[in-house]
Amino acid sequence: MEVRVRYAPSPTGLQHIGGVRTALYNYFFARSMGGKFILRVEDTDRERYTEESLQDLYDTLSWLGIKWDEGPVVGGPYGPYIQSERLALYQEYAKKLVEDGRAYYCYCSPERLEKVRQEQIASKSEYQGYDRHCANLTKEEREELEKQGIKPVIRLKVPTTGKTTFHDVLMGDITRRNCDVSPDPILLKSDGYPTYHLANVIDDHLMGITHIMRAQEWIPSGPLHILLYEAFGWEPPVYCHLPMVKGKDGQKLSKRHGDTAVRDFRLKGYLPEAILNYVTLVGWSLDGQTEFFTKEELEKCFKLENIHVSSGTFDYKKLDWFNGQYIRMKSDDEIVKLITPYLQNAGFISSEVSESEKALLYKLAPSVKERMKVLSDVVPLSKFLFTDEPNLDKCAYIGKGMTEEQCKEAFTRGAQIVLDNEKAGKPFAETESDIKALAEEMGIKINGVFQPIRVAITASAVSLPLHDSISLLGLEETERRIKRSLALF
């Protein structure tokens, strides 16, 4: 049997980390099994649907290098792969359930449903939900209601006794009493659009989906979907509910944890290789030790049994570390191409890069790639090269635990050492040795000497390596900036 899996997001918002992990797990499982990865767009929520969300879905998967075998744009034998283009199918199958006595037409108004709900709450009824008012209407009663212009919905007849069980690859058998399943849920709305449950089950069956890999939050809908499969007389696929992605606080990852939309990560300068690698490890591991995987390696080694049962923790610091490692793997040519848009957006270089600007970028690349966690870091790290905005705050120059007088002496003497050695063409290792000796003589930490020099040159305590900063800026401009900052003391 060929493995066929799907990623079926609803285009009602930007692609987020949790959704992308689901896509990656499905994709890598399909590739490792020699199967097919299908993309399906579940766009039946027309009120929340946006074209921006749909385009973001395509852009995100393309950016990550995830190619779907069947789906929108590429087509396939089971299309269309956009649910709003499959309405006739859902209507046909919903009516078949009515004909088979497994579903029925419901004409209840929203006002009546709300009244029933309030009465159940007031009476503290053990039974909460639809009261099956329309379950046994006669043909004549239905015809009379339809003459009044009432458009019905179609509801599933859920058994009131017994239990429903489905098996999950990670969690084993999951059983729920039928009386606890959503009471007679709507399958087809009065406007002819299906609900998620109906469209999902029909599409998975007709598209030959063999394995459903989705988030654990969908477990409560499992029994209902099994009941739908039984109502249609279809064999359900294999279920694998994926562990939740949580923040460091143990709560489900959400916007309050920071950027969870993949587009935000992309704009900040995270590399697709880092996102793909790290997100896959949030809930999966090969051997508990190996951390770095290429996409091609994951396509071969990904196995369901290596998915963790417990939730995965998304650690921004760990992602930053991964991204920094991938940045450092890039060649200087690649770094120049990657950082250019950020410097252009900041207004540091022209939209049409000149030869002199290109030469500067190639000088900058080796140094900046050792300091960046994300590509956008290039802007604050290199700002001193393109702007001359001195730091006029004395406190920025003074090292921790130092007095202003100590700072002035360390700054004055240290700057002289740096400038003299640079003019003499001495190796920077010798300059570091001289600065260390000065710090020991003064009884201070070595950063107490370097910090004011660094701030004078770059206007920031966090910068490129000092020797690189001087080389990029030029000795003459370096000396001018140092003298200007010394005047503050």
From the candidates 67, 163, 248, 255, which is the catalytic residue? Answer: 255
- Report CA 270 to chain centroid distance, whole Å: 11
Closest CA to 326 of 253, 281, 269, 387: 269
Query: Tokens 């690349």 belong to which residue?
Result: 365
The CA-based dihedral angle spanning residues 260, 261, 265, 267, taken in that order and rounded to the nearest 10 degrees: -150
Burial class (CB in 10 A: 0-12, 13-18, 19+), 5: buried
How many CB atoms are closer than 10 A to CB 395?
Answer: 8
Q: 28, 299 in Cβ contact below 8 A?
A: yes
* CA atoms of 306 and 309, how far apart (whole Å): 9
* CA atoms of 106 and 253, how far apart (whole Å): 38
How many CB atoms are closer than 10 A to CB 165?
Answer: 11
Helix 355-368 × helix 378-386 angle, to 10°: 130
Strand 211-215 relative to strand 153-156, pairing: unpaired
Annotated catalytic, 317?
A: no
Return the structure tokens found at 354. Answer: 């000149």
Question: CA dist 436 to 256, 405, 416, 432, 479, Å?
Answer: 44, 19, 14, 6, 21
Which residues are designated catalytic?
Answer: 255
